[in-house]
Amino acid sequence: MMRGITYFVFSTLAVSAAEVKVLLISPPELKEAWSEYAEMRGEQGTSMKVIPTDDIAKQYAHGDLQNKIRLCVQEHITKEGFHTVILGGDSSPEGGLIPDRDTYHLNMWGNDTDIPTDIYYLSATSWDLDGDGIYGEFEDDRGAISYPDGSLSIGRIPVRTADDVQAYAEKVKAYLEGETISELAMACEVRGAYAKVLRSGRELIPKAWPEGKVSFFFNDFTTWDAEGEEGDFDLSPENLRVKFSEGVIDKWHIHGHGLIDRWILEKGEFFSYEDVAELRNERPLVLTTVSCFTGHFDAEEDPSITEAMLRQPGGGAVLIIAPAREGKPHFHRPEKDFRLMVVEGKLDGTTMTMTAFWTAALGEQRARAGHALALSKAGFAKDSEKSATYHQGICELNLLGDPSLPVR
Ligand SMILES: [Ca+2]
Ligand SMILES: [Ca+2]
């Protein structure tokens, strides 16, 4: 039953903190702002090189801008020993500041033609074996698709303006200067998902992180209920704001329904832009979520709720992993596995990715955020070669934020 147990035996490709070299890809108009950020991160012990996309477009001759960025990253990996990449700008259907690479998916959920796939930028291969200009086709492009092996990492900071960069920089500073917090909270609004979220939070994460505490914020019971009044602390937008703002817990997993602009909570209430605008939490959050579309950073509509959390000055989040589209439960045998998910807490691919991220980041390995997600995805590489739905899962879960940050 525990075919996924190998996810938690990570490879030894760990990169020590001193060796981390980060390549920051900047749009020309944010070069100055990102150079200041890189200087700050250098002083904090993480060296960064900023390279603007107009230079990349001139230096590399082949293909579209996405391909040129990929070639530039490859050169920095192979010749200069870089491990980590930051994409320093938002993406939109027309391209945006740092365009994403759209990949094509046809699987048990139907088809999607434009899943933004930032892991593409770490690849030595083109993701378009048949050369038809459609990337990441599960069968036709198989020989040119490559997944993270745990040694390289990437994240996107989906900002649009120099002010966004500065606000983000200030939050990173506050984050790194704060005390370590050994508590993670898991919110869950969907009863069918209780079993798997509890398994993740009571069994799998504590096993890797025994000194930590995991709290629960479900519709029907919470860590903060009055005695004998199970569930009286509602999973409401107001209560979520209170918990985000207290500074007691900075690590969150949110499970449940969502849309591009909201997390849907108990009684159909939702947490949206007005709630984000009120956040002044000095301790910025690290957040994973499976909620549909909350990570849809590449839409015409902007910001998505996760981008709003990252851009909120003086509050919100510094790191988020979220699905760019539906965030469906990815399973090998859906006809059996859905029932096991509800009854026994079998973890689907998306929930497993988040769980493995937390265990790599908080466990003995103390992997930095991007590295933790890379290790998590490396654990899914074989599944993704076999299954078109896992292939979609590994593509659509992007890290938003600076991948070189520790999770502390
Ligand atoms: Ca193709
Ligand atoms: Ca966006």
Q: Tell me the two tokens of residue 64.
A: 């579209």
Q: Tell me the two tokens of residue 14.
A: 């760990």
- The pLDDT assigned to 17 comes to 47
- The pLDDT assigned to 6 comes to 37
How many domains would you assign to the chain?
A: 2
Question: In angstroms, what is the span from residue 1 Cα to ligand 2's centroid?
Answer: 39
Of 119, 153, 187, the domain-final residue = 153
Q: Domain check: are 51 and 100 in the same one? A: yes
Indicate whether 257 belongs to any domain. yes
Beta-strand ranges (E) seen in 257-312 are: 258-259, 262-264, 270-271, 285-289
Q: Are 228 and 160 in contact (CB under 8 A)?
A: no
Indicate whether 52 belongs to any domain. yes
Q: Are 346 and 337 in contact (CB under 8 A)?
A: yes
Q: Domain check: are 115 and 197 in the same one? A: no
Question: In angstroms, what is the span from residue 104 Cα to ligand 1's centroid?
Answer: 8
What is the identity of the amino acid at 146?
S
CA–CA separation, 313 and 280 (whole Å): 8
Q: Domain check: are 148 and 254 in the same one? A: no
CA–CA separation, 61 and 56 (whole Å): 9
- The pLDDT assigned to 19 comes to 64
CATH code at position 250: 3.40.50.1460
Q: Are 81 and 21 in contact (CB under 8 A)?
A: yes
Give the distance from CA 66 to its chain's centroid. 20
CATH code at position 87: 3.40.50.10390
Question: In angstroms, what is the span from residue 23 Cα to ligand 2's centroid?
Answer: 21
Question: In angstroms, what is the span from residue 215 Cα to ligand 2's centroid?
Answer: 31
Identify residues whose C-beta is under 5 A from ligand 1, the ion. Answer: 128, 130, 132, 134, 137, 141
Indicate whether 159 belongs to any domain. no
| Among 133, 209, 243, 222, CA closest to 372 | 209
Q: Domain check: are 224 and 302 in the same one? A: yes
CA–CA separation, 279 and 104 (whole Å): 37
Give φ, ψ of 136 to 5 degrees.
Answer: 75, 20
Indicate whether 5 belongs to any domain. no
Q: Domain check: are 119 and 253 in the same one? A: no
What is the identity of the amino acid at 60?
Y
Q: Which domain holds residue 44?
A: 17-153
Beta-strand ranges (E) seen in 272-372 are: 285-289, 317-323
Q: Are 399 and 100 in contact (CB under 8 A)?
A: no
Q: Domain check: are 372 and 326 in the same one? A: yes
Cβ atoms < 10 Å from Cβ of 75: 14
The DSSP bridge partners found for residue 213 are 183
Question: In angstroms, what is the span from residue 124 Cα to ligand 2's centroid?
Answer: 27
Q: Domain check: are 128 and 209 in the same one? A: no
- The pLDDT assigned to 14 comes to 44
Question: In angstroms, what is the span from residue 131 Cα to ligand 1's centroid?
Answer: 5
Give the distance from CA 303 to its chain's centroid. 16
Q: Domain check: are 183 and 76 in the same one? A: no
Indicate whether 205 belongs to any domain. yes
Beta-strand ranges (E) seen in 127-284 are: 153-156, 183-188, 213-218, 251-255, 258-259, 262-264, 270-271
- The pLDDT assigned to 3 comes to 38
Residue 117 in 3-state DSSP?
Answer: coil
Question: In angstroms, what is the span from residue 286 Cα to ligand 1's centroid?
Answer: 35
Indicate whether 12 belongs to any domain. no
Q: Domain check: are 226 and 120 in the same one? A: no
| Among 43, 71, 74, CA closest to 56 | 71
CA–CA separation, 256 and 197 (whole Å): 10
Question: In angstroms, what is the span from residue 373 Cα to ligand 1's centroid?
Answer: 26
pLDDT in tens, the chain (408 residues): 333 333 333 333 444 444 679 999 999 999 999 999 999 999 999 999 999 999 999 999 899 999 999 999 999 999 999 999 999 999 999 999 999 999 999 987 788 999 999 999 999 999 999 999 999 999 999 999 999 999 999 999 999 999 999 999 999 999 999 999 999 999 999 999 999 999 999 999 999 999 999 999 999 999 999 999 999 999 999 999 999 999 999 999 999 999 999 999 999 999 999 999 999 999 999 999 999 999 999 999 999 999 999 999 999 999 999 999 987 777 888 888 888 888 888 888 888 999 999 999 999 999 999 999 999 999 999 999 999 999 999 999 999 999 999 999
Residue 352 in 3-state DSSP?
Answer: helix
Q: Are 148 and 374 in contact (CB under 8 A)?
A: yes
Indicate whether 251 belongs to any domain. yes
CA–CA separation, 350 and 107 (whole Å): 15
Q: Domain check: are 134 and 69 in the same one? A: yes
Which pTM does this prediction carry? 0.94
Question: In angstroms, what is the span from residue 124 Cα to ligand 1's centroid?
Answer: 16
CA–CA separation, 131 and 150 (whole Å): 27
- The pLDDT assigned to 283 comes to 95
Question: In angstroms, what is the span from residue 374 Cα to ligand 1's centroid?
Answer: 24
Q: Domain check: are 181 and 113 in the same one? A: no
Q: Domain check: are 238 and 363 in the same one? A: yes
Indicate whether 160 belongs to any domain. no
Rounded (5°) CA angle 377-338-373:
15
